[in-house]
Amino acid sequence: MLLADFGTSYCKLLQTTIGAEPKIMPTRDLARDFSADLATGHNAERRSKQSINELTALARGGKRLIDEPDFVLLDCGSRDIKFIRYENFKVVDMGWNAECGASMGFTIELLSRYYDIDYTAVPVPESGFSITCGVLGMSHIFDAVVSGTSETEAVAKFVRGIARNAWRFAGTPDRLYLSGGLCDNPLFTGSFPCNIIPLGRFVLLEGLQEHLASRL
């Protein structure tokens, strides 16, 4: 069975055969007639035989990966952010924000390419911009650069502001599990004012596997 997490920028795919590893590919490279058996994410309904909601996939993926009664799991995608909060092994709160988290991951990746910035080599700044939207927040970068701030420092302040906004959206927890491609961005993960535990890019695929297991 082919499982898919159809992200806006990247798709994560997994064949449910023994030993199979998940794969990542740019969404733009998908064939027009590509279809999965079970999917979540952007365009999942159109590209699969069966689909489940992203929050449901996130919650089930968290349950599968995190053996704790209480935790908060935040997923930072290219297009939006969403979180799940568990208490006593049960989901007690969740949220999905495509407004304040608009194009957050996409904007961070775009800025690294435009300014040729390696996020692994950029230290976390002592202060950041007050950011409530990935797209609109770019104006802070332009203003800072015009005022004499280096492009790298301005982008770092932007990324810090984005991370702080995501942390507040998740309820300002002391410890936060993180899902999505930004798990691999040390500037982003280091900008949170709490303990961050990255789970990687395949949490929603884990949720799809948990969905299948629950039906057996």
23 lies in a domain? no
Q: What is the mean pLDDT of residues 55-79?
A: 95
168, part of any domain: yes
Of the candidates 88, 104, 103, the one whose C-alpha atom is nearest the C-alpha of residue 167 is: 104
Q: What is the pLDDT, as a whole number, of residue 53?
A: 94
Number of domains into which the chain is organized: 1
* Long-range pairs for 14-17: beta carbons < 8 A, 24 or more residues apart: 14/202, 14/205, 14/208, 14/209, 16/209, 16/212
Q: What does the DSSP 8-state code read for residue 141? A: H
Q: Is residue 114 part of a domain?
A: yes
Residue 15: CB atoms within 10 Å: 13
CATH number at residue 189: 3.30.420.40
The chain-wide mean pLDDT, for the chain, equals 92
Please check whether residue 131 lies inside any domain of the structure: yes
Q: Model confidence at 24, in pLDDT bands (50, 70, 90)?
A: very high
pLDDT over threshold 70, residue 68: yes
Tell whether the model's pLDDT for residue 214 goes beyond 90: no
Q: How far apart are CA 96 and CA 58, in angstroms?
A: 11
Residue 216 pLDDT: 61
Residue-number span of the structural domain to which 154 is assigned = 97-200
Neighbour-count burial for 128-154, b at 16+ CB within 10 Å, e otherwise: bbebbbbeebbebbeebeeeebebbeb
pLDDT at 22 over 70: yes
Can you say how many angstroms the Cα of residue 163 is from the centroid of all Cα atoms in its chain?
11
What are 87-139's pLDDT values in tens digits? 999 999 999 885 555 567 888 999 999 999 999 999 999 999 988 777 777 88
Distance CA 51, CA 37 (A): 8
Residue 193 lies in a domain: yes
